[in-house]
Structure 1
Amino acid sequence: MVGVDGVPEPHTGWTFLTSHARVLASIADNHNARIRDIAVRCRITERAVQRIISELERDGYLCRIRNGRSNRYSVDPGKVLRHPAEAGLTVASLLSILVRDEAERQGTVVRPRTDS
């Protein structure tokens, strides 16, 4: 939920995912996403999104490409997750769980043909 001043209302209590994972998933879902849109989707401030993007970019998880006044992001799917408990797991494995493709979101999942 977004407050009157446009700042997302904070979430109270604990969650399973970090803001870094949410921002990365949001960018993977839309490589042209604006910081404002990411903030609303992740329910954090635009300033927090900017900080997280800088950290993800600094550590090689994503690359920001300037396109006029907007940015396009590229996620490195082969990058290994940072925590020792996830040793060997890649960004691609995390995103496969977090990012739904457009057809699934629209409720039009296309099933592969089984006829020969």
Structure 2
Amino acid sequence: MDAVPPPHTGWTFVTNHARVLAAIADDHHVRVRDIAAHCRLTERAVQKIIADLERDGYLSHTRDGRSNTYEIDPSRVLRHPVEAGLGLTVASLLSLLVQDEADRTAPAPRSHPSTA
């Protein structure tokens, strides 16, 4: 049986759908189990979110043996009327949520000591 992650209290700026999409954008071969752990969701919740994203054309998958390979449509316009009215796309959302490979491998910036 899947362990349920500890609940989060309070509100957040990013929806679970955006978190799942960002996890898939980061690794197109990611397992539902790993998305759930990363996003602090149950596997069942992740499966439902993936189904929502596929039903509305934001995501598709192909079976590769026992695993899936996901493909995101970066040109899809976001659903909320405000973002849709501005023409904001999945690509623009993911540019904020997914760290570039170059950023992941670059050394962390050094902090400057305070000169008080």
What residue in structure 1 maps to residue 7 of structure 2? 10
Structure 1: distance between partners of 2:62 and 2:17: 19
Give the match's secondary structure for 1:64.
Answer: strand
**TM-score, normalisation: structure 2:** 0.85
Asked whether the equivalents of residues 3 and 42 of structure 2 are also in contact (C-alpha less than 8 Å), the reply is: no
Q: Report the identity percentage.
A: 70
Count matched residues: 105
Structure 1: distance between partners of 2:34 and 2:3: 11
Amino acid at match of 1:92: A
Question: Whose Rg is larger?
Answer: 2
Give the gaps of 5 or more residues in structure 2.
109-116
CA-CA distance at 1:108 after TM superposition: 4.4
Structure 2: distance between partners of 1:31 and 1:89: 22
What residue in structure 1 maps to residue 111 of structure 2? none
Structure 2: distance between partners of 1:12 and 1:29: 26
Give the match's secondary structure for 2:91.
Answer: helix
**TM-score, normalisation: structure 1:** 0.85
**Which one of the candidate residues 55, 68, 74 is aligned to 2:71?**
74
Give the gaps of 5 or more residues in structure 1.
110-116
